[in-house]
Structure 1
Amino acid sequence: MNSAASYYLGRVEVNPLEHTLVCDEVSISLQPKFIELLCYLAEQQPELLTRQQIIDHVWDGNSYVGEKALTNAIWHLRKAFKELDSEQEYIETVRKSGYRLLVEPVYNEPSSQIFLQISSRQLLWFSLIFCALLALTLGWYFWPTPQEKVYQSPELITQYPGRELFPSISNDGRYLVYSWRQMDRQVDLYRKDLFQPDLKHTKLTHTPGSESRSVWAHDDSKLFYYRRIGSRCEVVGVNLNDFHITKVGECASNAPSDVAVSPDGKLLAYIGVDPENPIRGVYLKKLDSEQPAKRIRCNNCEPGESEAVTFGPKGRRLAISRNLNHGNEDIFIYDLQSQTEQRVVTGLPDIRGLAWQPNSEKIVFSTVMHGNRHGYELDLQTNEQVNLNVEGFSYPAFDVNGNLYYHDWKIDTSIMRLELDSDVAASPFPLIQSEFNFRFPDYSEAAEKLAFISNESGFDEIWVAGLDGTERRQLTQLQFHAHNPVWSLDGKKIAFTANNGQESRLYVLDVLTSQLTQVNSELNYYGKARWSQDNKALYSVSSGDVYRIDIASGATRRITNGSHAVEIAHNQLIVYKRGSGFWQVNLNGEVVDEALLIEDLALANSTGWHVTNEGIYYFKVRGYDYRLSFYDFNNKQDKDVLRVPERAFSRSRGMSFVPSKQWLLFTGYESPQVDIKRMRKDFN
């Protein structure tokens, strides 16, 4: 096929040279890459092409760019075809497989052109062969040996029902320890013999708590890990000979944690808290001393909540990931001797684990980008960052030989509905579901539309749809991370938060005019926003305080401390304060009156609740026990509405209510199956 020649797909003419699609004198211009993708699909029609095949051909195998660009290109092609010929489906998406062109291309090329084309191709091939032979001859002694892949393809290590999480490998390479989360069962640590993989794994912990995030002692005689029992979180060590347990320190019960042991086995590092400092930081414990752990000091550290930690090869440095005040999570290298740190990775929305490659200057980390998890390797000497091209890559760990383990987290999200007034007990039902992720639902009775976040275009953008899931429409094209869409009370505007990799932002979108306005204020971070009753202001949380932000001027007013706030009447708010419950807050001019409304319900997430006229729906999580619950304003009692399997809903990705149908909407996980995989290192 001549890639420059035009051809027809049904009624639509494709002109590769002009990058256009034409039908009935209507022409749509597209980006060259979109046309190149379409031509490749046409060349291979009717074959099903995998995403990787397309990325290799169109984006030269650059998965970092291609993953998002492919999804974006398919979306734009579909949109263009729909505008030109709405009755014909042109591109088929095969879930978890790839894409196929459904319409056979028709080429109209003169025979002389074909002859010339073939002749020129033959000449080109002869030239290429000659040049290749010449290059081989001249460069035999000078051409460098091509570098092989660093890691082999992933291989499955565990495959049990439920989720196997947070791999940790013994220093002799024989045992793998992980946290196994089964449906409706306690979370415990299990050990698998990698030298005898057919043997059944053994249970290591037998307490009422939930155990996870383990690390081995240098001589493999002990295991250090986190244990959560109720509202308590402890860092403990267990002797694997007599299973005696010793408490090492304290940690946050409702936030991520991590543990690491230095290469010489003398130091334990963990993410913890103490009575004088509730902000998560890194603590060091000398394992040959009875002295308690001490929080590391830092002369130039940027404040924030630490989440992950790992030792460098000689134990003199730490790699630390930290959530910063503006909403990003960055990676720092901390020097234990100078007590200073250097930022090496910045602008990531969320990091899910990091590990330092043995005897090297490279770290590997996982990050969540537009609803999916990906792995990257960073060379600390060259600052070169390489995409590992492994989707689902989470919480990496190395063995002493440099083989890389991780848990494979690929769980799709959908918008779910629960019918509250059904005569027969109902289970959640998918409202919007496809190969893409849908999150953060918010319904407007006035607009009769559902707003949500989707990565259908390749980026987390704002979308709207009808309650039946049809008439889906993308409203933003920011091409970075949007979150928490919330309708104004009149159904005309949507407020949402976003992060461009540098800062937290607050936006207001006029749905009718598509005008997008950034709300500029003195705050450097914006939590999920809620509208005032007059639609002129927004309530948002920054650094543990609730603020009222005037949309027009950006002027802010601190109201009270808290985690999330909803204005239920003019100048009357319900504020959730973690640790003390729900409060009613009345604004009387400059005076703020507060009264305890509901004692702490121990919410699963500070934004995981929705106020109605009758009460408050909220997410309740107790270990593996996941429930949707309701607090009744009249009888001042709370009751469970529905118990669901573990991870059936997302605690932090939105809850909404549809009064006319008595539906509760939330973000649901489709298939909570997670396994541990290994990528063997190819060379040292």
Structure 2
Amino acid sequence: MNLRQTYRLGNFRVEPLECALYHPQHGKQSLQPKFIDVLNYLVQQYPKVVSRQELIEQVWQGNEYVGEKALTNAVWHLRQALKADNSDEVIETIRKTGYRLLLAPDVDAAGTPETEPLSPSGFLLARYNILVASLVMLIIALLVYTNWPSPAPSSKLPITVTTEPGLELFPAPSPDGRYIVYKWLGQGGQADLFKRDLQQPELGAIRLTFDQAYEGHSVWSNDGRYLYFSRKDREIDQCDVVRMDMQSFQETFVTQCPTFGGYHYIDISPDDKTLAFYGDEDGATRSGIYTLDLTDKSATPKRFSCDQDCSHKERDMAFSPDGRYMAVTRRFNSFNENIFLVELTSGETHQLTFNEEDIVGLSWHPDGTKLVYGVQRADTRTGYLLDVDTMQRQPLSIEGLSYPNFARKTPLLFFQYRKEQYQIAAWPLDQEVNSSPFPVLQSGYNHKSPDYHETLQRIAYLSNETGHYEIWTADSDGSNRKQLTHLGRSSRYPKWSHDGQYIAFLAPDEDGDGDHVYLVEAATKRVQQLSSPFNSHNRPFWSPDDSAILTTVFTPQHSDIYRFSLSGASPERLTHNRGRYGVMPDEHTLIYSTWRRGLWKLSLHTGETVELLNSDTFPHRYAWTATTEGIYYLVEEDQYQELHFYNFANQEHAVLLRTPRSTFVGDGDLRLDMGERRILFTKTLFNQSDIKYVTVDE
């Protein structure tokens, strides 16, 4: 057959001239020319076995030094590309011999049917018809073009790079795309960096770090010599930015990073002279982006982000390929994060995205005119391609995409593929033998943040089955579900009033500038906003008589628990040590958690505060609940999670349950159902997260 001729392999149409595969469902995949050459030769020799030496001779002109590894790489990529139908192997390896194509190529099915030649008169008529038709089509095309939205990039089937058990996170490709470094997080809590050689996929991943600390995001220098990454050791309360020589694997301390938070973003300028990272310093009112001059060994980090009188916090960043700009993410509140473009010389800033809730990674296309970024809405992740000049946005249509990262010298886009799954589960308090939690609400959608009303025997919870987290209720066994809100934007933290008439919850303003506490009436579904002079709040809870709602207020000066009277009185600040969430066992007592300062009790009558549990014993702000007898709370270790009970009477701690790590959502809610003697909570499945890549050449 002619090696330029179109042919089919199963459901794939192969276009050798385009170096592309077309699939009816997955669209176009672009492949390297050598990959297509290998496939073409196997097709030409079908059904013969083709030796490796013959393929190297035909495709690489006998250059064994290059061809030996390149052939293995080509076959691996072809197998990955031809897996769209989840069918058997298309290319068979014949041990110690070579390869054989297992699927018969179909040339006629892809070709153009033959026709009789035209007579001279027919030829002239045909030319006239073609001209008329072309003119009509041109007019139609011009009309459509001026009114048609920008098309999405050609759909391409992502190639899977990693499939290890556990979570492979934060891909960092080398500039040429040959190597990929990523963080691996095991179920036992182990967290280390690993490296894979994509030209030798048959080789296993190489472990780069060997410690008990938590490595985070990483970035290669543009010359491919170094890898920069964060390392956080909770045992010694230390976080460092480290440089690793990728030849000798020798490490060098660069600077310090914050010990709090789970994301330590990092990037490097195109000239390898400036490192940007997510940092903090004494005296700063908030964390933000810092830069470090790598050419000056005595240099100290300089704050890039705004600090004083700011309405936002900058987190992630990406230098443009020409070094003129930095794209940064700005979080205004927990419901509003968007991307801004900063011109590095003048500081001039332009907003690039709007109405996004959570940005999960951003990366510049090598051509310097486009950005790919990931978004998360109601725990569903996807990605977009944005032209920074025209502001046209195109969906990538890859569900589960987050933390995209281009190999700087290629159009290969690496990303982590991850889906989060949550369900509401219950654990019985009085069982004699430990057992697994029992599911209460589970389906193909996410259900989370339960709150239980004893009298009504109803659970208030969040569900994302409408595309946003809305407020729902259900019977204690999960049946008789009812949707209460239809806001069309994500809500959080539902909390029943004691009389069962209302559910308080947190949701963003319609304009996205802030958030407020809202009340939905269970009987009528009527929603009203709690009056507040502040624009950033936290999880609401009720006073014992339902006359007030308490919640943390976030201001530039402090973050503490306030009481908001439903009668319209001015808000009253109750805590002064970073209070975060609480319960009121009676009208004079507030038991509350703090930001990294343990659990406290406040007398509203005298103003006296008493520490109940220190931060070492009680690390969580939200995964706890209180009764008149004591406190149920979550403890997380490296290998497991435990549910503890602290008895007020004898001041003793008891371990009630030990489960695999990530059974409980770390910042989730624990809620008591005393009628059935159980604890309700949000259960997470330990999700698989893999690294994949796709070509973005548009």
Structure 1 length-normalised TM: 0.76
Q: Is the 8 A contact 1:301 1:340 kept in 2?
A: no
| Long gaps (5+) in structure 2 | 1-23, 26-128
Once the two structures are superposed, the pairs formed by residues 260-339 of structure 1 within 5 Å of their partners are 260-277=267-284, 279-290=286-297, 291-296=299-304, 298=306, 302-325=310-333, 327-339=335-347
Structure 2 residue corresponding to 1:443, chosen from 452, 455, 464: 452
Instruction: Report how far residue 593 of structure 1 moved.
Output: 2.3
Give the structure 1 partner of residue 417 of structure 2: 408
Say whether 1:546 aligns with 2:561: yes
- Structure 1: unaligned runs, 5 residues or longer: 1-51, 54-130
Q: CA 1:384–1:619 in 2, change beyond 3 Å: closer, same or farther?
A: farther
Kindly indicate whether residue 640 of structure 2 is the aligned counterpart of residue 618 of structure 1: no
SS in 1 for 2:352: strand
Q: Which moved more, 1:623-632 or 1:266-275?
A: 623-632
Which residue identity lines up with residue 287 of structure 1 in the other structure? L
Q: 1:150/1:640 Cα in 2 relative to 1: closer, same or farther (>3 Å)?
A: farther
Alignment of 1:23-42 (within 5 A): none
1:470 aligned residue:
479
SS of corresponding position for 2:608: strand
Change (3 A) 1:662 1:278: farther
The answer to whether the Cα contact below 8 Å between 1:495 and 1:507 also exists between their aligned partners in 2 is yes
Corresponding residue SS for 1:191: strand
Map of 1:256 onto structure 2: 263
The correspondence of residues 155-554 of structure 1 with structure 2, limited to 5 A, is 155-230=159-234, 231-240=237-246, 241-277=248-284, 279-290=286-297, 291-296=299-304, 298=306, 302-325=310-333, 327-400=335-408, 401-499=410-508, 500=510, 501-543=512-554, 544-553=559-568
* Change in CA separation of 1:441 and 1:251 when aligned onto 2, cut-off 3 Å: same
RMSD: 2.7
Give, as a single letter, the amino acid of the residue that structure 1 aligns with 2:450.
P
Q: Larger Rg: 1 or 2?
A: 2
Q: Decide whether the 8 Å contact of 2:514 with 2:536 is kept in 1.
A: yes
- Determine the C-alpha separation between the residues in 1 that align with 2:438 and 2:493: 22
CA contact (8 A) 2:411 2:697 kept: no
SS at 1:668 equivalent: strand
Label 1:345 to 1:664 Cα distance change in 2 as closer, same or farther (>3 A): same
1:331–1:148 Cα change, 3 Å: closer
C-alpha displacement at 1:320, in angstroms?
Answer: 1.4
Match of 2:243, as an amino acid?
Answer: G
In the TM superposition, residue 603 of structure 1 has moved relative to its aligned partner by: 5.3
- Matches of residues 595-606 of structure 1 in structure 2 within 5 Å? 595-601=610-616, 605-606=620-621
- Deviation by residue 1:125-177 (Cα, 9 ceiling, x = unmatched): xxxxxx99964454469968997835622221110101101000011221100
Counterpart Cα distance in 2 of 1:479 and 1:269: 36
Whole-Å Cα distance in 1 between the matches of residues 165 and 307 of structure 2? Answer: 47
Is the Cα–Cα contact under 8 Å of residues 354 and 396 in structure 1 kept in the other structure? yes
**By how many angstroms is 1:316 displaced?**
2.5
Query: Does structure 1 residue 569 correspond to structure 2 residue 580?
Result: no
**How big is the shift at 1:349?**
2.1
Residue 679 (structure 1) aligns with: 694
Is the CA contact (8 Å cut-off) linking 2:664 and 2:681 kept in structure 1?
yes
Answer whether contact 2:153 2:395 (CA < 8 A) is retained. Answer: no
Paired residues of 1:273 and 1:281 also in contact (CA < 8 A): yes
Displacement, 1:654? 2.4
Give a deviation string over 1:97-148, Cα, whole Å, max 9, x none.
Answer: xxxxxxxxxxxxxxxxxxxxxxxxxxxxxxxxxx999644544699689978
TM-score (norm 2): 0.75
Q: Distance in 2 between matches of 1:299 and 1:511?
A: 42
Change over 3 Å in CA distance of 1:488–1:525 after alignment to 2: same
Q: Secondary structure at the match of 1:450?
A: strand
- Letter paired with 1:668: K
**Separation of aligned partners in 2, 1:384 and 1:603:** 48
Q: Which residue does 1:113 correspond to in 2?
A: none
What is aligned with 2:81?
none
1:338 partner SS: coil
Q: Deviations over 1:528-584 (max 9, x none)?
A: 001001101111111112110112426311112322222221031012122221111
Please list the CA deviations of residues 258-295 of structure 1 after superposition, one character each: whole Å capped at 9, or x if unmatched.
00011111111000111222621111011121112111
Structure 2 counterpart of 1:488, one-letter code: S
